[in-house]
Structure 1
């Protein structure tokens, strides 16, 4: 059963889990790790892949992967359901790149699920954020916290991105696009800059001049499985009011094909939500 994002209530617990947890509203870290795997990089399994996921009324996950949702977030269940995959991926990328207050971060693919969280989380951490996205989505990204935006349709991204910083160079590029723009991403990084990626929607094969890497003393990070501190960090930002998940539409799970077609149109900002039927409504 697929589905990596969820929000729901604990209906039952297994041996060794506090029975008081029954009834808690929770979301879930979608990566599952063996207890002895300190980094979590060797043993990880993923919700909806190696384990049955959230395209159902019920699922079973390790208690340590569940996180109680604060009562005062002001967010809908549909909004919180965007956290596990998109929010977690963004948080993991920024932790790996060591983003902190004062950093200058360029976010590519900024209007997508991961990209919109990259903008918000980097801003919450105290960075200056420049977002690359279609011009029609700039207003939404500025509302989410971007300091400036660059039109993805422009032939040259580097010049307007650097101009937005007053010609200073970026300290971090958070890239989920890849493809032909990879070299341009590296060109805007200053010495000691960090490049982190978790996707390649424009193509996984890129051209790298190794002299750019070593002469600028750049650091590269590839992000997939979450660090053990990723989801706790994400939930802390949620509790601090630092997240406003962008939800474009909410559909029943039965309309998954329509949702996928809408996703491919790339006219949305953030996430498209699917809701399984209630138990009493299920066939």
Structure 2
């Protein structure tokens, strides 16, 4: 390998041994350190953002046929989420070594991973999405080997590594793909559900970059922070009665142009209501992008409402190479800012998982996981106080 610096033979990692609870996550210090193959870089991990998909994949909550199945998604047709597996998609760190064909000058470079495992080289479409931490080992470890062209240099001195990880592609690229799939443009009114989470806070920022107007659905104790982030108004998700009327009150009686739905369940029908109450006032079709089902995996919708009102529905999983590169450009330019809640040590991932499930009113943004060996520099300044 060209450009290698000393790398230990073994490393610490949190290893997932099967579907189930946090007991299936085992902290080990004797995991063989990966080596970069041709076209790859070995990244010394300094921070990896935690995503809800980590928990859902671990618990097997991605059924696509029988809603009672305990499975992970197999969009490519064959299972890739095999055990043992190291999870963690949104990886920030430093290049520690390079494989054949990669410029040795990249050693020491700080960057952020485009988390996708792409099926081919197409830049504008991603039909069989998979990702690091699912179809290949990810960042809940001290080292990870990834394609060199997907580890993007970000040297902004004002961004700590934990903050950079909090801007990872899993949330931001999903958010951007939700907006681009629905063709959201400047001036349009966009309803963002689940607005206080990683995808929701990304959507608010991205709407403002695109010139769209985001309306957030969240708990009211998050309202001040979401307004500061760029939300035009914050609607209380604990009061869904007369939801259409409350939306009309904040939009000046104008319909929502597009809904970015992370909730699903019985709320989907109410979200559609906010787009179709005055079709004469619209200049585009009503659009619903859905990339989550936190409120339920099954929605009951009258299809007559969908086709008579010409509601366009976009299912969104992961984004494309083009979108990842656009996001990196916005991060480098400072147009996107991190929403970091705090950090946990890698050895404390069980506690981080429980904290995420029990998160209270002070929770906004992302939790990052920092290897214990990197904790004093990259984790301690952002430690979550429990």
* Correspondence 1:120 to 2:205: yes
Cα shift at 1:279:
7.0
Deviations 1:119-138 (A, max 9, x none): 11112211111100001111
Alignment coverage as a number of residue pairs: 280
Q: Is the CA contact 2:123–2:322 (under 8 Å) kept in the aligned structure 1?
A: no
Cα shift at 1:220:
0.8
Residues 153-162 or 129-138, more deviating: 153-162
Cα shift at 1:158:
2.2
- Taking structure 2 as the reference length, what is the TM-score of the superposition? 0.69
Cα shift at 1:167:
0.8
Aligned to 2:131: 46
Higher Cα Rg: structure 1 or 2? Answer: 2
Aligned equivalent of 2:159, options 58, 68, 75: 75
* Correspondence 1:240 to 2:333: yes
Cα shift at 1:40:
5.0
Distance in 1 (CA, whole Å) between partners of 2:182 and 2:127 is 20
Cα shift at 1:280:
11
Aligned equivalent of 1:221, options 303, 311, 314: 314
Aligned to 2:68: none
Deviations 1:212-261 (A, max 9, x none): 21222221111113222221121122133222221112111111122112
Moved over 6 A (4+): none
Distance in 2 (CA, whole Å) between partners of 1:118 and 1:226 is 14
Residues 162-171 or 11-20, more deviating: 11-20
Match runs of 1:126-205 below 5 Å: 126-156=211-241, 157-190=243-276, 191=279, 192-205=285-298
Alignment gaps of 5+ in structure 1: none
Q: Is the CA contact 1:40–1:225 (under 8 Å) kept in the aligned structure 2?
A: no
Change (3 A) 1:164 1:228: same
Distance in 2 (CA, whole Å) between partners of 1:163 and 1:280 is 47
Cα shift at 1:265:
2.0
Q: Is the CA contact 1:6–1:81 (under 8 Å) kept in the aligned structure 2?
A: yes
Secondary structure at the aligned position of 2:206 is classed as helix
Aligned to 2:299: 206
Cα shift at 1:71:
2.1
Q: Is the CA contact 1:194–1:218 (under 8 Å) kept in the aligned structure 2?
A: yes
Secondary structure at the aligned position of 2:203 is classed as helix
* Correspondence 1:18 to 2:103: yes
Distance in 1 (CA, whole Å) between partners of 2:89 and 2:172 is 12
Secondary structure at the aligned position of 2:292 is classed as coil
